[in-house]
Each structure stands twice: as structure tokens, then as C-alpha cells.
Amino acid sequence: MNLFVLVLGIIFFICLIIVHELGHFIVAIRNGVEAEEFGIFFGPTLFKHKTKKGWIFKINLLPLGGYVKLKGEHDTDTQPGSYGASSLWVKTKIMSAGVFSNFILGVIFLLILCFLGIPQLIPNQFGTKSDQYVVSNPNNYLVIQQVLKDSPAAQGNLKAGYKIVSLGINKYDQTKIYTFIDLQNLTKKYQGQRVEIYYSYQNKISSTFVKMNSTQEIQNNSKNHQKFYLGVAVNQFQSGYQVLRYTWTAPIVALGTTKQIIVLTFDGLGHALKGLFGIFSGLISNNQIARKNAQTTASNQLVGPVGIFVILKDGSANGILFMLFIIAIISLTLAIMNILPIPALDGGRLWFTLLFRSIKKPLNQRNEEILNATGFLILLLLLGVVTYLDIKRFF
């Protein structure tokens, strides 16, 4: 784990929340709506400061999002400078500002990555071959699957599960091994000689000396006891990911990748909702098999604060480009979640306001509070389920 990259990822994640709320805050102020509080996170207050303009800045304990408290937030409020007294168009702009901010920030992150080098993490990820430069490719490596009995490898105490790193006459004459062809060529080159082999096991590099079989020894061997130069069966794997860079087509690639992420997010939401419905159905009907299957489906699609931290922690080992890509995906996901008609979120408030205006019925304070309270309770319940699934999956 790279601690610097992890800390940077957490800072960027907090910035996504700040940028989202700044969108609401700035659009509200510019349209004559007074702000009373700007809060980062929820729950008990850790830090509070009243600004010269009268609004309060807060940092709270629970990292579950942020908020902007506006004057007269109910749709029916009529005080000058209140949210309720503003026009439907102004309300739409205020509620949409957070979504727009996260969407733009996600695209900006992807655009920066296209210029620096964007990791290829999505199947058939969008790109333009005419303006495409390889920054890095995945690393191949070999893992010993089997060690033949009485072979040079067995005599050198090589075992299944060891990752072969390099081979040479001594530590100053080592050639890196990435593929089966590399191993085949080197063992043939050093046939009959005593060589030093470096290998990795549980992230620890060690070495051993072995004497290779010669071609003559192999040819003179009986058919019932086959010999090889080294005597190992190996599997080839890949680590890392390909990174591509673009120049004049970077904006096109950024927008194309944005579209892919949005499509995949909606697809994932569909599977997640199906899984959550299955969990509740399984609990009600006491169908344990259906519940476990649904739990697997949901847990594969949803992550909460615990899951996000684990993703950032694991992603830190893959470097800053990988981390920026994850942050871009989270930013776009926040935009999508906040435009959906989910009560207590921006999209829920906006769509309910538009719905009541379309049917020409007032969204009175009582109904609005019931809708928001119900939505908030559902979100807390969902957060509890997702946190439980995160703990089960990652710990």
C-alpha cells in the first residue's frame, strides 16, 4: 500500500463532497437565496466557524456526505431570500448544481488522465487508435505450478507457488523472467551449468543455486523418467494494467469513457436493486438460498463508506493514475445517484417538486417533511445493509 497515494485518494474523495455542496451553495447565493450552513459530513460537530457573511461552516464526524442549509428550505416558504420563495427555475438550478459539479469534475479527471495516461480498467474501454500512445503494459510473471521429482528445481528447494523472478550464473549476471519463452530460452542457454535463481514468495525475494541438466543428460535419459533443464511446470499470469495516453483526441476519449461509466453504473444499479429486493424477500419468506444469492448479487454492485475506503486502500498500491480513475468513477456515480428520484437526495427533492407542480397541487411543509424523513430512513437502512455487506465481503 502506498500511504501517500491513499491519503491523496481520501483527500480527493472529500473534495468530491465539497465540490458537490459548493455547486448548491454558489448557485443559491448567485440567485439571491441566503445560505445558513455549509457542512462537510454529518453527525456531531467537530469544527464550527461563523463567517463574516453570517453563514456557518461545519466539519462533522460521520463521513456520509455533506449538506448546505438554505434559508426557508420548504417549498412553501415565502420569506424574501428563502429557497421556498424562489422560482421553480431557480430551485431546479440549485438542486441540479451538485449533480452538474460532480459530472464536470469526473470528466475533468478523465481528461487529465487521457493526457497523462489513462488505465484500461473497463472491458473494451473507449479509445482512438489513431492518437494512442502506450505508457505502460501489464507485467507478465511466472508462478511454479509443479516441481518434478529429483529435478534440479527440487534439489534447489524450489516449490509450487514460488514466483520466478530471474536466472543467471550469479547475482551480477541475472536476466529477468516474464514469460514462459524467457524461462525456456534461459534454461537452454545455461544447460549443464550451476546458476542462481531468484524467486518471490509472500512478497519476499530469495535465491537458490541449482545445477541445470545438460542436453546430453536429457537425450541419454530413459523414456520412463523424463528430464528437463530445470524441471518445473509453470503458469503465466499478468499483473497491473495497460495505460494509454492521448493528445488531440483526449477530450473525445474522456467523453466516450464517461458514457461507458454512466452505462455501467446504471447497469450496476439495476443488479443492485434486484439483489436488495431479493435479500428482503428472502428474509420475509425465510428462503436462505434466495437470500444468500441476492446478497452476493447486491454486494458485488454496492459499496458504502467501508467499501470505498477498502477500494482506495487497495487502489493505492496501483499508483496515482489508478486512484484518479477510481475518483473519477466515484464522482460520476455521485452525479447519477443525485439526479435519480430518491427521497432525501437532490434528485428526490427536485422530482417531487416538479411532480407536484405538474399536477398543480402544493407541496406543503408536512408532506415534504414526511417524504424527506421517509427517504432519509430508507437511506439509513440501505447504508446499514451496504455496510454489513461491505464488512462481510472485505473482512
Task: Report the pLDDT value the prediction gives residue 370, as an integer from 0 to 100.
Answer: 78
Quick check: is 36 in a domain?
no
Task: Report the pLDDT value the prediction gives residue 189, as an integer from 0 to 100.
Answer: 92
pLDDT confidence tier of residue 298, bands split at 50, 70 and 90 = very low
What's the first-to-final CA gap in the chain, in angstroms?
17
Q: Where residue 202 sits, what CATH number does that domain have?
A: 2.30.42.10
Mean pLDDT of 105-116: 96
Task: Report the pLDDT value the prediction gives residue 285, as an integer from 0 to 100.
Answer: 55
Task: Report the pLDDT value the prediction gives residue 10, as an integer from 0 to 100.
Answer: 86
Quick check: is 312 in a domain?
yes
- Give how far Cα 275 sits from Cα of 281, 287, 341, 381, Å: 10, 14, 19, 15
d(CA 278, CA 90): 40
Angle at 308 between CA 43 and CA 100, to 5 degrees: 80
pLDDT of 25 > 80? The answer is: yes
Percentage of the residues of the chain whose pLDDT score is greater than 70: 83
Question: Are 184 and 269 in the same domain?
Answer: no
Contact 279, 290 (CB under 8 A): no
Task: Report the pLDDT value the prediction gives residue 95, as an integer from 0 to 100.
Answer: 93
Question: Are 211 and 154 in the same domain?
Answer: yes
Domain boundary among 239, 255, 270: 239
Q: Give the highest mean pLDDT range of 3-17, 194-208, 297-311.
A: 194-208
Question: Are 378 and 315 in the same domain?
Answer: yes
Question: Are 113 and 170 in the same domain?
Answer: no
195-249 tens-digit pLDDT:
999 999 988 999 999 999 988 877 776 554 456 899 998 888 877 788 999 999 9
Quick check: is 180 in a domain?
yes
356 vs 221 pLDDT, higher one:
356
Question: Which is nearest to 197 in space by CA: 140, 142, 139?
Answer: 142
Task: Report the pLDDT value the prediction gives residue 290, as an integer from 0 to 100.
Answer: 46
Q: Which domain holds residue 233?
A: 139-239
Quick check: is 128 in a domain?
yes
pLDDT confidence tier of residue 30, bands split at 50, 70 and 90 = very high
Mean pLDDT of 295-313: 60
Task: Report the pLDDT value the prediction gives residue 273, as an integer from 0 to 100.
Answer: 66
169-195 tens-digit pLDDT:
988 889 999 888 899 899 999 999 999
297's grid cell:
448479487
Quick check: is 15 in a domain?
no
Count how many domains the chain has. 2
Domain boundary among 239, 269, 295: 239
Mean pLDDT of 262-274: 77
pLDDT of 276 > 70? The answer is: no
pLDDT confidence tier of residue 284, bands split at 50, 70 and 90 = low
Contact 347, 339 (CB under 8 A): yes
Question: Which is nearest to 70 in space by CA: 93, 45, 102?
Answer: 93
Question: Are 205 and 328 in the same domain?
Answer: no
Task: Report the pLDDT value the prediction gives residue 22, as an integer from 0 to 100.
Answer: 95
Question: Are 149 and 229 in the same domain?
Answer: yes
Q: Name 225's Cβ contacts closer than 8 Å, sequence gap at least 6.
A: none
Question: Are 257 and 367 in the same domain?
Answer: yes
Quick check: is 161 in a domain?
yes
Question: Are 253 and 272 in the same domain?
Answer: yes
Q: What is the mean pLDDT of the chain?
A: 84
pLDDT of 28 > 50? The answer is: yes
Question: Are 225 and 366 in the same domain?
Answer: no
pLDDT of 360 > 80? The answer is: no
pLDDT confidence tier of residue 26, bands split at 50, 70 and 90 = very high
Question: Are 352 and 253 in the same domain?
Answer: yes
Please tell me the total number of residues recorded for the chain in this structure: 395
Quick check: is 224 in a domain?
yes
Percentage of the residues of the chain whose pLDDT score is greater than 90: 44
The dihedral built from the CA positions of residue 303, 306, 307 and 313, taken in this order, carries a sign that is positive
Task: Report the pLDDT value the prediction gives residue 221, as an integer from 0 to 100.
Answer: 64
Quick check: is 4 in a domain?
no
134 vs 296 pLDDT, higher one:
134
- Give how far Cα 154 sits from Cα of 50, 167, 190, 271, 370, Å: 72, 16, 17, 49, 72
62-101 tens-digit pLDDT:
877 889 999 988 877 888 899 989 998 999 999 999 999 9
Domain boundary among 218, 239, 260: 239
Mean pLDDT of 308-320: 73
Task: Report the pLDDT value the prediction gives residue 224, as an integer from 0 to 100.
Answer: 42
* Continuous segment of H or E residues that includes residue 232: strand 232-239
Question: Are 210 and 350 in the same domain?
Answer: no
Question: Are 128 and 185 in the same domain?
Answer: no
Contact 390, 303 (CB under 8 A): yes
